[in-house]
């Protein structure tokens, strides 16, 4: 036996399980296998000058490596059961919230101290939103910011590096059960362990599907969220973002009864490209450091699509729409809201003459050629609804980048200990389809480590 515990994936789920194991059971021999690079080697080559768009690196530094998909994220740790995953349905509401608070304490201890914790408790915006048929969800939000989030990861790695064996640039090819132990197969070797924690996130979704098939772990299809990223002058949302930072607002469309929601709000932030399995979609960042802030705020407007029999491939549906935008725009498309509602494409002239400067270089185009009518109608309806609580949202110059897609892993069947039908094999974080956020993924890591530590 090489190890007591092998963790596959060094995203927040993997990191927090390693952290908690070293704390509770320092004698255990633990290894972490990570397909991507060590933190200091993670660099996206897009610099806006020599490399303007994604060149599909073998290992995407945005999605993979120590810190996982969250490493260059905005570092918003939402402490809530209302969104960010359904961990509470598996482990219980109180336990899930307690774990998220615990993760927050660790983040504070490892460099996050002094960052702001926002809360919707007692806010006047709740009433204001309801008056316009908009629904503000409850949450506390710790905003680390991209810069502090990185510092926390550096500090956690410094703590872990001599307690755990890290194998970077080492994608695990397969997991097999051999003579009652787990055999982890990589290109250059085979390793065995008594217990295995799989935490491969969204980038490992296809691999996870294969492992579930091979180890006969039941799964069910999940949803896909499709929409756009909205960018507007920071003043338009400042009254909300100054108090709440991130406001999760849900709207039910009159036309179709679909739910449209705001997602990942980045006050004074920047819009960025995201590469998921070679498909370029859009996302957003923001920084705690005022020197790095911009004059714009961005957030996504997303519509969730669930499919019923016979169609199961919700991610495939989202990928096809994103591919269409990549085909038309060579990547992400940007359009002024005014051009969209007048039924004309945006061109570079109209973008240049707008009263807002885009923070992402995207191809001016026509999102109505990409997004299904039902989704686009819902987004337009929500923009007009938001205009009532944040006047200016529906201005002609508001920029819409498309497409933004949130892919979800298929949901893996696990027990309340997040253990699969194979004893000693745990599936946590976004790779389980149960979590979709930094806080929930991290909490699931602590939960499993505590379970292992009691054995």
Give yes or no for residue 61 binding ligand FAD (CB under 6 A): no
Give yes or no for residue 375 binding ligand FAD (CB under 6 A): no
Among 3, 21, 65, 446, binds ligand FAD (CB under 6 A): 65
Among 111, 112, 145, 171, binds ligand FAD (CB under 6 A): 171
What secondary structure does DSSP assign to 290-347, as a single string? GGG--SEEEEEEEEEE---TT---HHHHHHHHHHHHHHHHSS-EEEEHHHHHTT----
Give yes or no for residue 201 binding ligand FAD (CB under 6 A): yes
Give yes or no for residue 104 binding ligand FAD (CB under 6 A): no
DSSP 110: I
Distance CA 247, CA 400 (A): 19
Q: Which residues is 296 bridged to in the sheet?
A: 233
Give yes or no for residue 17 binding ligand FAD (CB under 6 A): no
Give yes or no for residue 433 binding ligand FAD (CB under 6 A): no
Helices (H), 112-220: 125-131, 145-160, 205-214
What secondary structure does DSSP assign to 361-398, as a single string? --EE--GGGTS-HHHHHHHHHHHHHHHHHSTTTT-TT-
Cβ nearer to ligand FAD, comparing 248 with 336: 248
Cβ nearer to ligand FAD, comparing 380 with 434: 434
Cβ nearer to ligand FAD, comparing 155 with 174: 174
Give yes or no for residue 441 binding ligand FAD (CB under 6 A): yes
Under rule CB under 6 A, which residues in 258-287 are in contact with ligand FAD?
264, 274, 283
In a 13 Å sphere around the CA of 397, the CA atoms on its Cβ side amount to 14
- Whether the CB-CB separation of 266 and 286 falls below 8 Å is answered with yes
Give yes or no for residue 430 binding ligand FAD (CB under 6 A): yes
Give yes or no for residue 381 binding ligand FAD (CB under 6 A): no
Q: How far is the CB of 61 from ligand FAD (least distance, A)?
A: 10
Structural tokens at position 362: 């995207």
Cβ nearer to ligand FAD, comparing 176 with 341: 176
Q: How far is the CB of 26 from ligand FAD (least distance, A)?
A: 23
Q: How far is the CB of 74 from ligand FAD (least distance, A)?
A: 4
Q: Count the residues of the shown chain that bind ligand FAD, applying the rule CB under 6 A.
A: 43
Residue that is written with structure tokens 């997040």 in the block: 418
Cβ nearer to ligand FAD, comparing 208 with 375: 208
Distance CA 433, CA 219 (A): 9
Helices (H), 390-453: 438-453
Give yes or no for residue 182 binding ligand FAD (CB under 6 A): no
- Whether the CB-CB separation of 248 and 137 falls below 8 Å is answered with yes
Cβ nearer to ligand FAD, comparing 68 with 364: 68
- Residues 6 or more apart whose Cβ sits within 8 Å of residue 377: 253, 255, 256
Which one of the spans 68-76, 155-163, 224-232, 341-349 is the region binding ligand FAD (CB under 6 A)?
68-76
Distance CA 431, CA 24 (A): 24
Give yes or no for residue 236 binding ligand FAD (CB under 6 A): no
Which residues contact ligand FAD by CB under 6 A? 8-14, 33-36, 63-65, 68-70, 73-76, 78, 84, 171-172, 199-204, 207, 264, 274, 283, 429-431, 436-439, 441
């Amino acid at each position: 036996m090489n190890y007591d515990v092998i963790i596959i994936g060094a995203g927040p789920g993997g990191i927090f399980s390693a952290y908690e194991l070293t704390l509770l059971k320092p004698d255990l021999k633990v290894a972490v296998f990570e397909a991507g690079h060590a933190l200091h080697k993670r660099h996206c080559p897009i610099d806006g000058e020599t490399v303007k768009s994604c060149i599909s690196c073998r290992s995407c530094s945005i999605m993979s490596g120590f810190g996982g998909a969250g490493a260059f994220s905005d570092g918003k740790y939402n402490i809530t059961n209302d969104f960010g995953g359904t961990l509470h349905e598996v482990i219980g509401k109180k336990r899930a919230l307690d774990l998220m608070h615990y993760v927050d304490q660790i983040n504070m201890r490892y460099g996050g101290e002094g960052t702001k914790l926002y809360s919707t408790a007692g806010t006047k915006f709740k009433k204001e939103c309801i008056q316009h048929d908009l629904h503000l969800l409850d949450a506390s939000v710790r905003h680390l910011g991209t810069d502090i989030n990185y510092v926390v990861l550096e500090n956690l790695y410094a703590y872990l590096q001599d307690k755990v064996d890290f194998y970077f640039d080492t994608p695990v090819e397969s997991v097999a059960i051999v003579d009652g132990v787990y055999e982890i197969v990589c290109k250059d070797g085979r390793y065995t362990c008594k217990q295995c924690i799989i935490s491969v996130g969204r980038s490992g979704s296809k691999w996870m599907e294969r492992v579930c098939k091979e180890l006969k772990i039941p799964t069910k299809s999940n949803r896909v969220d499709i929409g756009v990223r909205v960018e507007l002058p920071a003043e338009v949302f400042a009254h909300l973002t100054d108090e709440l930072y991130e406001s999760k607002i849900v709207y039910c469309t009159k036309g179709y009864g679909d739910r449209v929601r705001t997602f990942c709000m980045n006050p004074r932030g920047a819009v960025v490209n995201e590469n998921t399995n070679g498909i370029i979609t859009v996302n957003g960042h923001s920084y705690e450091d005022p020197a790095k802030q911009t004059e714009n705020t961005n957030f996504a407007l997303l519509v969730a699509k669930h499919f019923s029999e016979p169609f199961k491939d919700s991610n495939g549906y989202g990928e096809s729409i994103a591919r269409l935008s990549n085909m038309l725009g060579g990547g992400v498309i940007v359009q002024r809201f005014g051009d969209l509602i007048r039924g004309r494409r945006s061109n570079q002239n109209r973008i240049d003459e707008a009263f807002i400067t885009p923070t992402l270089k995207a191809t001016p185009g026509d999102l109505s050629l990409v997004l299904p009518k039902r989704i686009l109608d819902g987004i337009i309806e929500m923009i007009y609804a938001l205009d009532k609580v944040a006047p200016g949202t529906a201005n002609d110059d508001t920029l819409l980048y498309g497409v933004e897609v949130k892919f979800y892993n298929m949901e893996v069947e696990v027990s309340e200990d997040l253990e699969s039908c194979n004893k000693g094999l745990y599936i946590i974080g976004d790779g389980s389809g149960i979590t979709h956020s930094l806080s929930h993924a991290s909490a699931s890591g602590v939960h499993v480590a505590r379970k292992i530590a009691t054995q």
